[in-house]
Amino acid sequence: MKIIASLVLYRHSQADIEKTLESLSSEQSIDKICIVDNGGHCGWLEGLRHPKIEVIRLAVNRGFGSGHNAVFQKFNQDCDYILVCNPDISFTTGQVDKLYSFSMQRQTGLSIPKVVYPDGSLQHGCKLLPTPWQLFVRRFGSSLADKMNQDYELRQADYSCSFFAPSLSGCFMLISRQALQKTGGFDERFFLYLEDVDLSRRVCTSALPVEYCPGSTVVHESQRRSYRDIKFLMYHVFSAVRYFNKWGWFLDTDRDALNTRCLSELPQARNV
């Protein structure tokens, strides 16, 4: 198979994912859509019938990464790539096919398309690896965040060109069989948030290409629940602590090297 799409749900209704399923099922390069019922709360999946869809039910919700890992473990040997997809994604027909062609041509370990908001404005799905200060300022220091984000979110990049970035958004990422074999998938110590940053940097250090694909575009509603819900804010804080405990808080030579490489290779937008 070419691509198996992985979709992790937690208390979602069928209406919540209708546009996502419609988008995924229309792609020729997607041979299977694997829906993970994380915690067993989506009883309506019993009546869902589609030749491409398969359901995995997990009795306990151990987090976003753990849900996708269940798909990785079951299907990694059966396809070229697995597509990690959020349930609030939609796109026009052919966008995954374009991303797949790009990824096969470049033999990428990890790639993402251009990600936009519903109004068409750019989401910055390509980033540098964060420092503790950057994450703190982005979340709590709004007056300083905009200036800091110029570099951190690679706002100066020419998004009409492909380029390397050490951190790619987990809302819609295409990861190869080889990359999964080398990394083992998501680190399940991250229940929610920063699991995509952690996986991205591990693919970067596996000697497989990590690239942004400019020829494919998807729409992401991006609920940003950690800005509205204290529970999700705490998930974010706990994940940040785990991330920096793992990779280093202030001394992280791999982070510095990957960020320097990204900035030195980055195609610059003409209006910057």
Query: What tens digit of pLDDT does each residue of 5-58 get?
Result: 999 999 999 999 999 999 999 999 999 999 999 999 999 999 999 999 999 999
| Mean pLDDT over each residue of the chain, to the nearest integer | 93
pLDDT band at residue 271 under the 50/70/90 scheme: low
- Higher per-residue confidence, 149 vs 201: 201
Among candidates 160, 113, 162, which has minimal Cα distance to 262? 162
Residues recorded for the chain: 272
Which residues, 6 or more positions from 185, have their beta carbon under 8 angstroms from its beta carbon?
65, 68, 69, 72, 73, 199
Distance CA 108, CA 116 (A): 22
Residue 232 confidence (pLDDT): 85
Whether residue 272 is predicted with pLDDT greater than 60 in this model: the reply is no
How far does the chain reach from its first CA to its final CA, in angstroms?
42
Residue 29 confidence (pLDDT): 98
Are the C-beta atoms of residues 5 and 85 closer than 8 Å to each other?
A: yes
Report the pLDDT averaged over residues 212-220: 98
pLDDT band at residue 92 under the 50/70/90 scheme: very high
Residue 155 confidence (pLDDT): 94
Are the C-beta atoms of residues 193 and 223 closer than 8 Å to each other?
A: no
Residue 227 confidence (pLDDT): 57
Whether residue 240 is predicted with pLDDT greater than 90 in this model: the reply is yes
Are the C-beta atoms of residues 52 and 28 closer than 8 Å to each other?
A: no
Q: What does pTM read for this prediction?
A: 0.94
C-alpha dist (Å) from residue 192 to 90, 152, 238, 253: 22, 21, 9, 25
